[in-house]
C-alpha cells in the first residue's frame, strides 16, 4: 500500500515507482458513501493491505499518511518511504510546511522540481477525495459508479487493466470488510492476476 495525494502524484513519480520493481500496480477506489472503507483504512487497513498485497503489488490509496504510517515506513525502509517519505522527519513538520509552502516547487527529485502537495497528500474532505476518485476512474475509462473497486495494471500507460468490483463490500462493518479483503488477497483470483502480470 502506498498512500498518495492522487493520480497526478503517481504520474509525476512513475519512473521512480517503476524502478521499485513491482509486478502489478493499482488504485483502491472508494468514496465516503462506500461505508467503512475510509474508517478501515484510517485504522488498521493500511497495515493489513500492505502485508496482503506483498512485495510484487503496489496499490495506491488516496489518503494522507498518518504519523504511525510514516514511522513504520521509515523503520522498514518501505517503498513509500523511499518514494515520498524521506523528505521529512515527522508528520507534524509535513503539515506545517504544507500550509506554508505546499504549492511552491521546493523539492528537486530526479532532476525535476516538485511541490510538497505533489509528494504528500493533504487532508482531503469528501468532495476533494471524490474529485480524485473521479480522475482515477476517468483515466481507466471507468464510469463514475464503478466503485468501490480495485483497478490493477502493469504500467500506468497501459490500456489493459484488471478491474475488481468491490460493490458487494459496501456497508460491511469494518471487521467484516477486513475479512472479505483478506479472503480476496489470499485467494486464487489475486494469485492469478499476479501471474498474468508477470507473463504480460
How far apart are the C-alpha atoms of 130 and 139, rounded to whole Å? 14
Say what percent of the chain tops pLDDT 70.
79
How far is the CA of 31 from the CAs of 125, 126, 186, in angstroms?
Answer: 11, 7, 24
Residue 163 has pLDDT above 90, yes or no: yes
Tell me the average pLDDT of the chain.
83
pLDDT per residue over 23-39, tens digit each? 999 999 998 888 889 88
Q: What is the pTM of this model?
A: 0.78
User: Beta 149-153 vs 24-29: how paired, if at all?
Assistant: antiparallel
| Extents of the domains making up the chain | 2-199
- What grid cell was written down for 1? 500500500
pLDDT per residue over 43-52, tens digit each? 888 889 999 9
Q: Which long-range contacts (CB under 8 A, 24 or more apart) does 116-120 make?
A: 116/87, 117/5, 118/5, 118/8, 118/9, 118/12, 119/5, 119/9, 119/84, 119/87, 120/5, 120/64, 120/65, 120/84, 120/88, 120/94
Amino acid at each position: 500500500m502506498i498512500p498518495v495525494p492522487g493520480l497526478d502524484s503517481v504520474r509525476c513519480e512513475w519512473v521512480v515507482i517503476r524502478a521499485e520493481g513491482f509486478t502489478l500496480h493499482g488504485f483502491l477506489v472508494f468514496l465516503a458513501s462506500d461505508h467503512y472503507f475510509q474508517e478501515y483504512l484510517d485504522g488498521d487497513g493500511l497495515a493489513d493491505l500492505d502485508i496482503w498485497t506483498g512485495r510484487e503489488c503496489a496499490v495506491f490509496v488516496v489518503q494522507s499518511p498518518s504519523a504511525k504510517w510514516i514511522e513504520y515506513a521509515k523503520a522498514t525502509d518501505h517503498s513509500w518511504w523511499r518514494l515520498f517519505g524521506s523528505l521529512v522527519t515527522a508528520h507534524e513538520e509535513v503539515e506545517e510546511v504544507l500550509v506554508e509552502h505546499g504549492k511552491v516547487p521546493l523539492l528537486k527529485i530526479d532532476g525535476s522540481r516538485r511541490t510538497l502537495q505533489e509528494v504528500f497528500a493533504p487532508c482531503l474532505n469528501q468532495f476533494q477525495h471524490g474529485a480524485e476518485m473521479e480522475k482515477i476512474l476517468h483515466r481507466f475509462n471507468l464510469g463514475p459508479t464503478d466503485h468501490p473497486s480495485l483497478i490493477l495494471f502493469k504500467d500506468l500507460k497501459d490500456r489493459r487493466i484488471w478491474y475488481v468490483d468491490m460493490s458487494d463490500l459496501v456497508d460491511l462493518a469494518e471487521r467484516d470488510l477486513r475479512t472479505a479483503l483478506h479472503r480476496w488477497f489470499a485467494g486464487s483470483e489475486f494469485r492469478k492476476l499476479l501471474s498474468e502480470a508477470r507473463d504480460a
